[in-house]
Amino acid sequence: MDFGFKISPSSAVNLDNVNVEKFEQLHSVEPDVYKCMACGSCSSTCPANRFSGMSMRKVILALQRGKEKEAISMMRNCMLCGKCSMVCPRGINTRHLILSISRIYKEDGK
Amino acid sequence: MKENIVIIGGGIAGLESAARLIDLGYKPIIIEKSDHLGGHVADWNCLFPDMTPAREVVNRLIVSSADANIFLNTEISFVNKLKDSYNIMLSNGISIITKIILFTTGFSVFDASKKEEYGYGIYDQVITNRDLEHWFNTGDDKRVNNCGMNAVGFVHCVGSRDEKARNPQCSKVCCITAVKQAIELKQKFPEAMVYCFYMDLRMFGKKYEDFYIGAQRDYGIRFIRGRVSEVSENIDGRVIVKAEDTLSGKPVKVTLDLLVLMAGMVCNSDSTKVAGMVGLPLDSDGFLKSKDNVADIIDSPREGIFYAGACTGPKTVPETLAEARAAALKIHLFIKSLQ
Ligand SMILES: Cc1cc2nc3c(=O)[nH]c(=O)nc-3n(C[C@H](O)[C@H](O)[C@H](O)COP(=O)(O)OP(=O)(O)OC[C@H]3O[C@@H](n4cnc5c(N)ncnc54)[C@H](O)[C@@H]3O)c2cc1C
Ligand code: SF4
Ligand code: SF4
Ligand code: SF4
Protein backbone atom coordinates (compact mmCIF):
# COMPACT_ATOMS: atom_id res chain seq x y z
CA MET A 1 0.00 0.00 0.00
CA ASP A 2 1.26 3.48 -0.80
CA PHE A 3 0.58 6.14 1.82
CA GLY A 4 2.29 8.82 -0.25
CA PHE A 5 5.19 9.14 2.20
CA LYS A 6 8.07 6.96 3.28
CA ILE A 7 9.17 6.10 6.76
CA SER A 8 12.87 6.73 6.94
CA PRO A 9 14.93 3.63 7.61
CA SER A 10 15.30 2.96 11.31
CA SER A 11 18.39 4.47 12.89
CA ALA A 12 18.36 1.73 15.51
CA VAL A 13 21.42 -0.47 15.65
CA ASN A 14 20.42 -4.03 14.99
CA LEU A 15 23.27 -6.11 16.28
CA ASP A 16 21.78 -9.19 14.60
CA ASN A 17 22.58 -7.66 11.22
CA VAL A 18 26.00 -6.21 11.94
CA ASN A 19 28.67 -7.93 9.94
CA VAL A 20 31.58 -8.36 12.33
CA GLU A 21 33.93 -10.07 9.90
CA LYS A 22 36.12 -7.06 9.22
CA PHE A 23 36.16 -6.01 12.84
CA GLU A 24 37.34 -9.49 13.79
CA GLN A 25 40.04 -9.18 11.17
CA LEU A 26 41.02 -5.87 12.71
CA HIS A 27 40.91 -7.37 16.18
CA SER A 28 43.28 -10.15 15.17
CA VAL A 29 45.96 -7.63 14.16
CA GLU A 30 45.07 -5.03 16.80
CA PRO A 31 44.02 -7.02 19.86
CA ASP A 32 44.00 -3.83 21.96
CA VAL A 33 41.06 -2.38 20.04
CA TYR A 34 38.67 -4.08 22.47
CA LYS A 35 40.39 -2.39 25.40
CA CYS A 36 38.80 0.97 24.60
CA MET A 37 36.70 2.18 27.54
CA ALA A 38 35.23 5.12 25.64
CA CYS A 39 36.77 7.70 27.93
CA GLY A 40 37.05 10.35 25.22
CA SER A 41 40.65 11.39 25.98
CA CYS A 42 41.61 10.81 22.36
CA SER A 43 38.78 12.96 21.00
CA SER A 44 39.38 15.82 23.35
CA THR A 45 43.08 16.03 22.53
CA CYS A 46 42.65 15.47 18.79
CA PRO A 47 43.50 18.62 16.82
CA ALA A 48 41.16 17.46 14.03
CA ASN A 49 38.24 16.99 16.41
CA ARG A 50 37.13 20.58 16.71
CA PHE A 51 36.88 21.34 13.03
CA SER A 52 35.97 17.96 11.61
CA GLY A 53 34.50 15.89 14.42
CA MET A 54 37.17 13.21 14.06
CA SER A 55 37.07 11.05 17.17
CA MET A 56 38.97 7.84 17.69
CA ARG A 57 36.44 6.84 20.31
CA LYS A 58 33.59 7.26 17.83
CA VAL A 59 35.50 5.41 15.10
CA ILE A 60 36.02 2.37 17.33
CA LEU A 61 32.37 2.45 18.37
CA ALA A 62 31.02 2.99 14.86
CA LEU A 63 33.00 0.04 13.49
CA GLN A 64 31.58 -2.22 16.17
CA ARG A 65 28.06 -1.04 15.39
CA GLY A 66 28.37 -1.71 11.69
CA LYS A 67 28.54 1.99 10.77
CA GLU A 68 31.65 1.62 8.69
CA LYS A 69 30.91 4.49 6.30
CA GLU A 70 30.55 6.89 9.20
CA ALA A 71 33.85 5.72 10.66
CA ILE A 72 35.77 5.93 7.42
CA SER A 73 34.52 9.39 6.58
CA MET A 74 35.55 10.63 10.03
CA MET A 75 38.98 9.13 9.61
CA ARG A 76 39.63 11.08 6.45
CA ASN A 77 40.26 14.09 8.67
CA CYS A 78 42.96 12.40 10.72
CA MET A 79 46.41 13.90 10.30
CA LEU A 80 48.17 10.95 11.91
CA CYS A 81 49.76 13.26 14.44
CA GLY A 82 49.62 10.58 17.14
CA LYS A 83 48.42 12.82 19.99
CA CYS A 84 45.63 10.36 20.70
CA SER A 85 48.16 7.56 21.26
CA MET A 86 49.97 9.69 23.79
CA VAL A 87 46.94 10.18 26.01
CA CYS A 88 45.07 6.90 25.80
CA PRO A 89 44.84 5.60 29.39
CA ARG A 90 44.33 2.06 28.16
CA GLY A 91 47.63 2.24 26.30
CA ILE A 92 46.09 1.60 22.89
CA ASN A 93 48.40 2.54 20.03
CA THR A 94 45.61 4.46 18.32
CA ARG A 95 47.80 5.85 15.56
CA HIS A 96 48.80 2.36 14.54
CA LEU A 97 45.19 1.29 14.88
CA ILE A 98 44.13 3.99 12.41
CA LEU A 99 46.61 2.65 9.86
CA SER A 100 45.31 -0.89 10.33
CA ILE A 101 41.71 0.26 9.97
CA SER A 102 42.58 2.06 6.74
CA ARG A 103 44.17 -1.08 5.39
CA ILE A 104 41.39 -3.47 6.34
CA TYR A 105 38.43 -1.28 5.49
CA LYS A 106 39.96 0.48 2.49
CA GLU A 107 37.70 -0.87 -0.28
CA ASP A 108 34.61 0.45 1.52
CA GLY A 109 35.73 4.03 1.80
CA LYS A 110 38.58 5.59 -0.05
CA MET B 1 51.32 -16.19 76.00
CA LYS B 2 55.01 -15.68 75.47
CA GLU B 3 54.96 -15.49 71.65
CA ASN B 4 55.99 -12.14 70.22
CA ILE B 5 53.62 -10.76 67.59
CA VAL B 6 55.01 -7.97 65.43
CA ILE B 7 52.51 -5.70 63.66
CA ILE B 8 54.12 -3.51 61.00
CA GLY B 9 52.01 -0.37 60.50
CA GLY B 10 49.89 1.51 63.05
CA GLY B 11 47.03 2.44 60.75
CA ILE B 12 43.49 1.30 61.48
CA ALA B 13 44.32 -2.26 60.35
CA GLY B 14 47.26 -2.51 62.76
CA LEU B 15 45.33 -0.94 65.64
CA GLU B 16 42.25 -3.11 65.22
CA SER B 17 44.32 -6.31 65.01
CA ALA B 18 46.27 -5.26 68.08
CA ALA B 19 43.08 -4.54 70.02
CA ARG B 20 41.60 -7.95 69.20
CA LEU B 21 44.88 -9.72 70.04
CA ILE B 22 44.91 -7.92 73.38
CA ASP B 23 41.34 -9.21 73.95
CA LEU B 24 42.69 -12.70 73.29
CA GLY B 25 45.38 -12.23 75.93
CA TYR B 26 48.44 -11.31 73.87
CA LYS B 27 50.71 -8.28 73.98
CA PRO B 28 51.43 -7.38 70.37
CA ILE B 29 54.15 -4.98 69.26
CA ILE B 30 53.21 -2.21 66.80
CA ILE B 31 55.94 -0.64 64.65
CA GLU B 32 54.84 2.66 63.10
CA LYS B 33 57.15 4.70 60.94
CA SER B 34 55.35 8.03 61.35
CA ASP B 35 54.88 10.05 64.51
CA HIS B 36 51.22 9.17 64.99
CA LEU B 37 48.80 6.27 64.88
CA GLY B 38 45.77 5.88 62.63
CA GLY B 39 47.45 5.95 59.21
CA HIS B 40 45.54 7.63 56.44
CA VAL B 41 42.23 7.64 58.27
CA ALA B 42 43.78 10.03 60.81
CA ASP B 43 44.01 12.53 57.93
CA TRP B 44 40.40 12.16 56.81
CA ASN B 45 37.48 14.23 58.06
CA CYS B 46 34.19 12.34 57.66
CA LEU B 47 33.82 8.81 56.34
CA PHE B 48 31.36 7.62 53.71
CA PRO B 49 28.65 6.43 53.70
CA ASP B 50 27.34 7.72 57.05
CA MET B 51 29.67 10.71 57.52
CA THR B 52 31.13 9.20 60.68
CA PRO B 53 33.87 11.49 62.01
CA ALA B 54 37.18 9.79 61.16
CA ARG B 55 38.73 11.14 64.35
CA GLU B 56 36.23 9.18 66.46
CA VAL B 57 37.04 5.94 64.67
CA VAL B 58 40.76 6.45 65.12
CA ASN B 59 40.53 7.57 68.74
CA ARG B 60 38.43 4.56 69.67
CA LEU B 61 41.03 2.27 68.08
CA ILE B 62 43.91 4.03 69.82
CA VAL B 63 42.22 3.55 73.19
CA SER B 64 41.44 -0.11 72.61
CA SER B 65 44.98 -0.92 71.48
CA ALA B 66 46.74 1.12 74.17
CA ASP B 67 48.11 -1.96 75.94
CA ALA B 68 50.21 -2.95 72.94
CA ASN B 69 53.92 -2.17 72.83
CA ILE B 70 53.96 0.75 70.45
CA PHE B 71 57.04 2.15 68.72
CA LEU B 72 56.42 5.39 66.85
CA ASN B 73 58.92 6.97 64.43
CA THR B 74 60.38 3.52 63.97
CA GLU B 75 61.22 1.58 60.86
CA ILE B 76 62.40 -1.91 60.13
CA SER B 77 66.13 -1.82 59.36
CA PHE B 78 66.45 -5.43 58.35
CA VAL B 79 65.03 -8.87 58.95
CA ASN B 80 67.02 -12.10 59.30
CA LYS B 81 65.38 -15.42 58.77
CA LEU B 82 66.28 -17.83 61.57
CA LYS B 83 65.39 -21.54 61.64
CA ASP B 84 61.71 -21.19 62.53
CA SER B 85 61.48 -17.49 63.32
CA TYR B 86 62.57 -14.01 62.26
CA ASN B 87 64.97 -11.57 63.83
CA ILE B 88 63.68 -8.05 63.21
CA MET B 89 66.07 -5.13 63.68
CA LEU B 90 64.38 -1.79 64.31
CA SER B 91 65.76 1.63 63.45
CA ASN B 92 65.87 2.45 67.20
CA GLY B 93 68.40 -0.34 67.78
CA ILE B 94 65.97 -2.81 69.35
CA SER B 95 65.83 -6.30 67.90
CA ILE B 96 62.89 -8.68 68.21
CA ILE B 97 62.74 -12.42 67.65
CA THR B 98 59.31 -13.49 66.46
CA LYS B 99 57.49 -16.27 64.67
CA ILE B 100 54.59 -14.01 63.71
CA ILE B 101 54.58 -10.89 61.55
CA LEU B 102 51.41 -9.05 60.54
CA PHE B 103 51.73 -6.61 57.65
CA THR B 104 49.34 -3.69 58.04
CA THR B 105 51.46 -1.34 55.99
CA GLY B 106 48.58 0.09 53.95
CA PHE B 107 48.79 2.07 50.73
CA SER B 108 50.12 5.35 49.34
CA VAL B 109 48.08 8.06 47.68
CA PHE B 110 49.15 8.38 44.03
CA ASP B 111 51.45 11.36 43.50
CA ALA B 112 49.20 13.58 41.36
CA SER B 113 52.07 15.77 40.18
CA LYS B 114 53.10 12.85 37.96
CA LYS B 115 50.05 13.57 35.78
CA GLU B 116 51.45 16.88 34.59
CA GLU B 117 48.53 17.61 32.28
CA TYR B 118 46.32 18.11 35.34
CA GLY B 119 48.58 20.82 36.71
CA TYR B 120 48.92 19.68 40.32
CA GLY B 121 51.74 21.65 41.89
CA ILE B 122 51.68 24.01 38.90
CA TYR B 123 48.32 25.77 39.16
CA ASP B 124 47.12 27.16 42.46
CA GLN B 125 43.56 26.03 41.95
CA VAL B 126 44.34 22.34 41.64
CA ILE B 127 44.31 20.17 44.78
CA THR B 128 43.86 16.47 45.56
CA ASN B 129 41.25 14.49 47.48
CA ARG B 130 43.76 14.27 50.33
CA ASP B 131 44.30 18.05 50.36
CA LEU B 132 40.54 18.56 50.49
CA GLU B 133 40.17 16.25 53.51
CA HIS B 134 42.97 18.23 55.14
CA TRP B 135 41.10 21.45 54.41
CA PHE B 136 37.86 20.01 55.84
CA ASN B 137 39.82 19.22 59.01
CA THR B 138 41.83 22.39 59.39
CA GLY B 139 40.29 25.01 57.10
CA ASP B 140 43.88 25.78 56.23
CA ASP B 141 44.76 25.77 52.54
CA LYS B 142 45.54 28.89 50.55
CA ARG B 143 44.45 27.19 47.34
CA VAL B 144 40.85 26.82 48.49
CA ASN B 145 39.40 30.24 48.01
CA ASN B 146 36.85 30.76 50.75
CA CYS B 147 34.86 33.54 49.15
CA GLY B 148 34.51 33.27 45.40
CA MET B 149 33.57 29.66 44.88
CA ASN B 150 31.39 29.59 41.79
CA ALA B 151 32.40 26.36 40.14
CA VAL B 152 34.25 23.28 41.35
CA GLY B 153 35.24 20.15 39.46
CA PHE B 154 36.31 16.66 40.47
CA VAL B 155 38.46 14.51 38.22
CA HIS B 156 37.99 10.80 38.74
CA CYS B 157 40.65 8.12 38.12
CA VAL B 158 43.78 10.23 38.60
CA GLY B 159 46.63 7.76 38.48
CA SER B 160 44.20 4.86 38.43
CA ARG B 161 42.95 2.96 35.37
CA ASP B 162 45.78 4.56 33.56
CA GLU B 163 48.53 2.65 31.84
CA LYS B 164 50.43 5.87 31.30
CA ALA B 165 50.64 6.23 35.08
CA ARG B 166 51.64 2.56 35.27
CA ASN B 167 48.53 1.72 37.26
CA PRO B 168 45.79 0.03 35.29
CA GLN B 169 43.89 -0.82 38.50
CA CYS B 170 40.75 0.83 39.78
CA SER B 171 41.33 2.33 43.23
CA LYS B 172 37.77 1.51 44.19
CA VAL B 173 37.17 4.13 46.89
CA CYS B 174 37.67 7.34 44.89
CA CYS B 175 34.31 7.35 43.07
CA ILE B 176 32.42 7.30 46.33
CA THR B 177 34.94 9.71 47.88
CA ALA B 178 34.32 12.13 45.01
CA VAL B 179 30.57 11.93 45.55
CA LYS B 180 31.07 12.49 49.26
CA GLN B 181 33.43 15.43 48.81
CA ALA B 182 31.22 16.95 46.10
CA ILE B 183 28.27 16.92 48.50
CA GLU B 184 30.39 18.39 51.29
CA LEU B 185 31.60 21.24 49.07
CA LYS B 186 28.08 21.90 47.86
CA GLN B 187 26.96 22.12 51.49
CA LYS B 188 29.67 24.69 52.18
CA PHE B 189 29.14 26.61 48.93
CA PRO B 190 25.46 26.12 47.99
CA GLU B 191 25.73 28.57 45.11
CA ALA B 192 28.60 26.76 43.43
CA MET B 193 28.23 24.51 40.40
CA VAL B 194 29.86 21.18 41.12
CA TYR B 195 30.95 18.83 38.34
CA CYS B 196 32.30 15.29 38.47
CA PHE B 197 34.22 14.09 35.40
CA TYR B 198 34.02 10.31 35.42
CA MET B 199 34.41 7.37 33.03
CA ASP B 200 32.50 4.80 35.05
CA LEU B 201 30.99 5.27 38.49
CA ARG B 202 31.73 2.45 40.88
CA MET B 203 29.17 2.56 43.63
CA PHE B 204 29.81 -0.91 44.96
CA GLY B 205 29.18 -0.59 48.68
CA LYS B 206 26.32 -0.47 51.08
CA LYS B 207 24.32 2.74 50.60
CA TYR B 208 26.76 4.17 48.01
CA GLU B 209 24.14 4.26 45.28
CA ASP B 210 21.83 6.20 47.63
CA PHE B 211 24.66 8.65 48.16
CA TYR B 212 25.00 9.06 44.41
CA ILE B 213 21.26 9.56 43.94
CA GLY B 214 21.32 12.15 46.73
CA ALA B 215 24.22 13.94 45.04
CA GLN B 216 22.15 14.19 41.85
CA ARG B 217 18.70 14.89 43.23
CA ASP B 218 19.33 16.83 46.43
CA TYR B 219 22.55 18.63 45.56
CA GLY B 220 22.33 18.98 41.79
CA ILE B 221 25.88 17.76 41.23
CA ARG B 222 26.54 17.41 37.50
CA PHE B 223 28.07 14.19 36.36
CA ILE B 224 29.89 14.45 33.04
CA ARG B 225 31.00 11.26 31.37
CA GLY B 226 34.43 11.99 29.98
CA ARG B 227 38.01 11.89 31.07
CA VAL B 228 39.63 15.27 31.57
CA SER B 229 42.36 15.60 28.99
CA GLU B 230 43.90 18.89 29.88
CA VAL B 231 43.87 21.65 32.46
CA SER B 232 45.11 25.17 31.86
CA GLU B 233 44.97 28.48 33.67
CA ASN B 234 43.31 31.66 32.44
CA ILE B 235 44.44 35.21 33.20
CA ASP B 236 42.42 35.64 36.39
CA GLY B 237 43.90 32.47 37.86
CA ARG B 238 40.92 30.20 37.36
CA VAL B 239 41.46 26.86 35.70
CA ILE B 240 39.98 25.71 32.40
CA VAL B 241 39.20 22.05 32.09
CA LYS B 242 38.75 20.27 28.77
CA ALA B 243 37.23 16.90 28.11
CA GLU B 244 34.96 15.12 25.71
CA ASP B 245 31.39 14.88 26.90
CA THR B 246 31.12 11.34 25.59
CA LEU B 247 27.36 11.16 26.06
CA SER B 248 26.74 14.01 23.63
CA GLY B 249 29.88 13.28 21.63
CA LYS B 250 30.95 16.93 21.88
CA PRO B 251 33.98 18.61 23.41
CA VAL B 252 33.27 20.36 26.73
CA LYS B 253 35.13 23.16 28.40
CA VAL B 254 34.43 24.65 31.80
CA THR B 255 36.12 27.31 33.92
CA LEU B 256 36.53 26.45 37.59
CA ASP B 257 37.62 28.05 40.84
CA LEU B 258 38.83 24.75 42.24
CA LEU B 259 39.73 21.43 40.70
CA VAL B 260 40.00 18.36 42.92
CA LEU B 261 41.98 15.39 41.61
CA MET B 262 40.83 12.00 42.88
CA ALA B 263 44.28 10.52 43.34
CA GLY B 264 44.16 6.75 43.57
CA MET B 265 45.47 4.19 46.02
CA VAL B 266 48.77 2.60 45.06
CA CYS B 267 51.09 0.22 46.83
CA ASN B 268 53.22 1.81 49.49
CA SER B 269 56.94 1.53 48.77
CA ASP B 270 57.71 1.13 52.50
CA SER B 271 55.46 -1.89 52.40
CA THR B 272 57.18 -3.52 49.44
CA LYS B 273 60.60 -2.76 50.91
CA VAL B 274 59.90 -4.73 54.09
CA ALA B 275 58.08 -7.42 52.09
CA GLY B 276 61.26 -7.82 50.07
CA MET B 277 63.28 -8.39 53.26
CA VAL B 278 61.24 -11.49 54.06
CA GLY B 279 60.89 -12.63 50.46
CA LEU B 280 57.18 -11.89 50.01
CA PRO B 281 55.99 -11.68 46.40
CA LEU B 282 54.02 -8.81 44.87
CA ASP B 283 50.80 -9.30 42.93
CA SER B 284 50.35 -8.01 39.38
CA ASP B 285 48.73 -4.83 40.76
CA GLY B 286 51.88 -4.02 42.77
CA PHE B 287 50.28 -4.74 46.16
CA LEU B 288 51.41 -7.58 48.45
CA LYS B 289 50.42 -10.96 47.11
CA SER B 290 48.06 -13.11 49.16
CA LYS B 291 48.17 -16.87 49.23
CA ASP B 292 44.80 -16.81 47.49
CA ASN B 293 42.75 -13.77 46.48
CA VAL B 294 39.44 -15.47 47.22
CA ALA B 295 39.83 -17.76 50.18
CA ASP B 296 43.07 -16.65 51.86
CA ILE B 297 43.43 -12.92 51.35
CA ILE B 298 44.98 -12.42 54.81
CA ASP B 299 47.51 -15.25 54.44
CA SER B 300 50.86 -14.59 52.85
CA PRO B 301 52.55 -17.46 51.03
CA ARG B 302 54.95 -17.71 54.04
CA GLU B 303 54.15 -19.42 57.29
CA GLY B 304 53.65 -17.03 60.19
CA ILE B 305 53.29 -13.94 58.02
CA PHE B 306 49.84 -12.41 57.65
CA TYR B 307 48.25 -9.34 56.05
CA ALA B 308 45.37 -7.04 56.89
CA GLY B 309 43.98 -3.94 55.22
CA ALA B 310 45.07 -1.91 52.23
CA CYS B 311 48.55 -3.47 51.90
CA THR B 312 46.94 -6.10 49.65
CA GLY B 313 44.85 -3.67 47.59
CA PRO B 314 42.40 -0.78 47.84
CA LYS B 315 39.97 -1.29 50.73
CA THR B 316 37.38 0.69 52.62
CA VAL B 317 37.49 1.20 56.38
CA PRO B 318 34.91 -1.52 57.20
CA GLU B 319 36.69 -3.99 54.91
CA THR B 320 40.02 -3.17 56.53
CA LEU B 321 38.62 -3.60 60.02
CA ALA B 322 37.01 -6.94 59.13
CA GLU B 323 40.31 -8.23 57.79
CA ALA B 324 42.14 -6.98 60.87
CA ARG B 325 39.80 -8.96 63.14
CA ALA B 326 40.13 -12.03 60.95
CA ALA B 327 43.93 -11.71 61.05
CA ALA B 328 43.89 -11.55 64.85
CA LEU B 329 41.92 -14.77 64.97
CA LYS B 330 44.23 -16.39 62.41
CA ILE B 331 47.26 -15.46 64.50
CA HIS B 332 45.62 -16.83 67.64
CA LEU B 333 44.97 -20.17 65.91
CA PHE B 334 48.48 -20.20 64.47
CA ILE B 335 50.00 -19.75 67.94
CA LYS B 336 47.76 -22.57 69.25
CA SER B 337 49.04 -24.80 66.46
CA LEU B 338 52.64 -24.14 67.54
CA GLN B 339 52.03 -25.40 71.06
C1 LIG C 1 41.07 10.27 49.84
C2 LIG C 1 40.60 9.01 50.53
C3 LIG C 1 39.45 9.05 51.31
C4 LIG C 1 38.98 7.90 51.94
N5 LIG C 1 37.81 7.98 52.64
C6 LIG C 1 37.27 6.83 53.16
C7 LIG C 1 35.97 6.86 53.80
O8 LIG C 1 35.34 7.92 53.90
N9 LIG C 1 35.45 5.66 54.25
C10 LIG C 1 36.13 4.48 54.10
O11 LIG C 1 35.59 3.43 54.48
N12 LIG C 1 37.37 4.44 53.55
C13 LIG C 1 37.96 5.59 53.06
N14 LIG C 1 39.19 5.53 52.46
C15 LIG C 1 39.97 4.26 52.52
C16 LIG C 1 40.80 4.20 53.84
O17 LIG C 1 41.71 5.28 53.88
C18 LIG C 1 41.54 2.87 53.96
O19 LIG C 1 40.58 1.83 54.01
C20 LIG C 1 42.40 2.75 55.21
O21 LIG C 1 43.30 3.84 55.32
C22 LIG C 1 43.21 1.45 55.20
O23 LIG C 1 43.89 1.34 56.44
P24 LIG C 1 45.28 0.57 56.60
O25 LIG C 1 45.56 0.54 58.05
O26 LIG C 1 45.21 -0.72 55.87
O27 LIG C 1 46.36 1.46 55.82
P28 LIG C 1 46.93 2.95 56.08
O29 LIG C 1 45.87 3.88 56.48
O30 LIG C 1 47.72 3.26 54.85
O31 LIG C 1 47.94 2.77 57.30
C32 LIG C 1 49.18 2.14 57.16
C33 LIG C 1 50.11 2.56 58.30
O34 LIG C 1 51.30 1.79 58.24
C35 LIG C 1 52.42 2.63 58.36
N36 LIG C 1 53.53 1.99 57.65
C37 LIG C 1 53.57 1.71 56.32
N38 LIG C 1 54.72 1.09 56.01
C39 LIG C 1 55.41 0.97 57.16
C40 LIG C 1 56.67 0.41 57.48
N41 LIG C 1 57.44 -0.17 56.54
N42 LIG C 1 57.10 0.45 58.77
C43 LIG C 1 56.33 1.02 59.71
N44 LIG C 1 55.12 1.57 59.47
C45 LIG C 1 54.67 1.54 58.21
C46 LIG C 1 51.97 3.94 57.77
O47 LIG C 1 52.75 5.02 58.26
C48 LIG C 1 50.52 4.01 58.22
O49 LIG C 1 50.41 4.59 59.50
C50 LIG C 1 39.69 6.67 51.81
C51 LIG C 1 40.86 6.63 51.03
C52 LIG C 1 41.30 7.78 50.36
C53 LIG C 1 42.52 7.69 49.50
S1 SF4 D 1 46.40 10.85 15.05
FE2 SF4 D 1 44.48 11.48 14.04
S3 SF4 D 1 42.89 10.91 15.51
FE4 SF4 D 1 44.83 10.90 16.62
S5 SF4 D 1 44.97 12.92 17.55
FE6 SF4 D 1 46.07 13.03 15.57
S7 SF4 D 1 44.53 13.72 14.11
FE8 SF4 D 1 43.41 13.06 15.92
S1 SF4 E 1 41.65 7.41 24.75
FE2 SF4 E 1 41.83 5.20 24.39
S3 SF4 E 1 40.38 4.26 25.84
FE4 SF4 E 1 39.86 6.44 25.70
S5 SF4 E 1 38.26 6.53 24.13
FE6 SF4 E 1 40.22 6.90 23.09
S7 SF4 E 1 40.91 4.90 22.38
FE8 SF4 E 1 39.28 4.54 23.88
S1 SF4 F 1 36.85 4.13 42.09
FE2 SF4 F 1 36.10 5.45 40.44
S3 SF4 F 1 37.53 7.21 40.44
FE4 SF4 F 1 38.52 5.54 41.57
S5 SF4 F 1 39.77 4.49 40.04
FE6 SF4 F 1 37.80 3.37 40.19
S7 SF4 F 1 36.52 4.28 38.60
FE8 SF4 F 1 38.25 5.70 38.92
Q: Which CATH number fits domain B112-265: 3.30.110.40, 3.50.50.60, 3.40.50.720, 3.30.420.140?
A: 3.50.50.60
- The ranges of chain B annotated as CATH 3.50.50.60 are 5-106+268-338, 112-265
Residue nearest to atom 3 of ligand 2 (CA): A78
* Each residue's pLDDT tens digit, B224-250: 999 999 999 999 989 999 999 999 999
Torsion sign, CA atoms B44, B50, B56, B59: negative
Q: What is the pLDDT, as a whole number, of residue B280? A: 97
- Return d(Cα B59, Cα B62) in angstroms, integer: 5
Do residue B163 and residue A89 have CB atoms under 8 angstroms apart? yes
Cα pseudo-dihedral B245, B239, B211, A39, rounded to 10:
30
Q: Is residue A69 part of a domain?
A: yes
- What is the domain extent for residue A25? 20-106
Residue nearest to atom 6 of ligand 4 (CA): B170
Q: What is the pLDDT, as a whole number, of residue B1? A: 57
Q: What is the pLDDT, as a whole number, of residue B148? A: 77
Mean pLDDT (10-residue bins), chain B, 339 residues: 91 98 98 98 97 98 98 97 96 97 98 96 96 95 81 98 95 98 96 97 96 97 97 94 96 96 97 96 97 97 97 98 98 95
> Is B109's C-beta closer than 6 angstroms to any atom of ligand 1?
yes
Please state the ipTM of this predicted complex: 0.87
Confidence of residue A106 (pLDDT cuts 50, 70, 90): confident
Q: What is the pLDDT, as a whole number, of residue A110? A: 43
Q: What is the pLDDT, as a whole number, of residue B339? A: 86
Q: Is residue A7 part of a domain?
A: no
Q: Is residue A9 part of a domain?
A: no
Domain count, chain A: 1
Q: Is residue A13 part of a domain?
A: no
Looking at the predicted structure, is the pLDDT value of residue A108 above 60? no
B333 Cβ contact partners less than 8 Å away, ≥ 6 residues apart? none
> Is A57's C-beta closer than 6 angstroms to any atom of ligand 3?
yes
Residue nearest to atom 4 of ligand 3 (CA): A39
CA distances, B148 to each of A80, B125, B151, B260, B264 (Å)? 42, 12, 9, 16, 28
Q: Is residue A61 part of a domain?
A: yes
Q: Say how many Å lie between the CA of residue A31 and the centre of ligand 1.
A: 37
Q: Is residue A42 part of a domain?
A: yes
- Largest pairwise CA distance in chain A: 56
Do residue A89 and residue B164 have CB atoms under 8 angstroms apart? yes
Q: Is residue A48 part of a domain?
A: yes
Architecture of the domain made up of B5-106+268-338: 3-Layer(bba) Sandwich (3.50)
Q: Is residue A41 part of a domain?
A: yes
Contact B272, B252 (CB under 8 A): no
CATH number, domain of A63, equals 1.10.1060.10
